[in-house]
Amino acid sequence: MKKLLSAKHLNALTGRTIDSETLDNTLYSVVENSDYRWLASDINGVQSLMQLDAPTQILSPVVSALLLPLSKRTAKNTVGKSNAILEVLNLGLGGSAIERYFLQDKNTTVISVELSKQVIKLNRQYFHINDDAEPNLTIINQCANQFLSGNQQRFDLITCDIFTGEAQPDFLFDISFYKNLSRALKDSGYIALNLTIANQEQLVTLLNTTQPFFNHRAIVDFYHFKNIVFYLSHTAFNKEKMAMTMNDEMGNEVKQFLVID
């Protein structure tokens, strides 16, 4: 079982600031204590967390949910199989938890797309990201929406976690974004997006926007995080195994797991 930290634990973290950058009127700080180093904003608090003595360890329930299609081989295809090359696209670098996790596996290639040069700089300096020395990792400084519109590659797993302060980009609710995501996904692949949904109307908009491009969708809702994780796929989810994995790894953090179609 992964040792995940609860929202209460994450919100109670204290440490010393070792660097900071301002982006779009939001202050981002690198903070650490004897156990952890994390990227925090003055609006949303902890954005991403790294355990100093185990940098590849996943600590956040939300990040764990983004990787759920790989956990215990919940997928019915090549995703997560050790003898296959896994091609991953991560939209939004954050504190590079996903990148560090996958760099353990030499059979995985990761393309990370990040708009902010400052965030990329902080990751390279403080979060064990050395893409120049990692042949399986490519970091692209570009808007995720622009990247997808010109992308020709297809991926086994696409994760998306894009925020600027409290705001999400408008394209996360735009039909062209999901059309391009669908085109970038292998037939047996999965997409996992970290989103905040303001109200029921916005959720209905999201469902109507994604329905033409994906045969299968699911949602994880959390008790103590305002986020949801939204899954999209061209192939059916293994609902029972996903629910079992969530119970094992995320315990009391998951409020609801709903397979829509």
Tell me the per-residue pLDDT of 1-21, one tens digit each, with 9 for 90 and over: 457 888 889 889 999 999 998
**How large is the greatest C-alpha to C-alpha distance in the chain, in angstroms?**
49
Rounded to 10 degrees, the C-alpha dihedral 69/57/7/245 comes to 30
User: What is the pLDDT, as a whole number, of residue 73?
Assistant: 42
Name the pLDDT band for 77 (thresholds 50, 70, 90). Answer: very low
What average pLDDT does this structure show over 202-230?
94
Better-predicted residue by pLDDT, 27 or 230: 230
Q: How far apart are the first and last CA of the chain?
A: 29
User: What is the pLDDT, as a whole number, of residue 75?
Assistant: 40
* 26-57 b/e (C-beta count within 10 Å ≥ 16 → b): bebbbbbeeebbbbbbeeeebbbbbbeeebee
Q: Name the amino acid, one letter, at 169.
A: P
Helices (H), the chain: 7-11, 61-66, 97-102, 117-126, 144-150, 175-184, 200-210, 239-250
Please provide residue 165's backbone torsions phi and psi, each rounded to the nearest 5 degrees. Answer: 65, -125
Q: Spell out the domains of the chain, with CATH numbers in brackets.
A: 60-259 (3.40.50.150)
Tell me the per-residue pLDDT of 175-195, one tens digit each, with 9 for 90 and over: 999 999 999 999 999 999 999
The two three-digit tokens of residue 39, written as one number: 């990227």
Name the pLDDT band for 168 (thresholds 50, 70, 90). Answer: confident
* Pairing mode, strands 227-233 and 26-32: unpaired
User: What is the pLDDT, as a whole number, of residue 76?
Assistant: 42
Tell me the per-residue pLDDT of 93-147, one tens digit each, with 9 for 90 and over: 989 999 999 988 889 999 999 999 999 999 999 999 988 889 999 999 999 999 9
- Measured at the CA of 247, the angle between CA 242 and CA 253, to 5 degrees, comes to 115
Better-predicted residue by pLDDT, 78 or 207: 207
Name the pLDDT band for 231 (thresholds 50, 70, 90). Answer: very high
Global confidence as pTM: 0.92
Name the pLDDT band for 74 (thresholds 50, 70, 90). Answer: very low
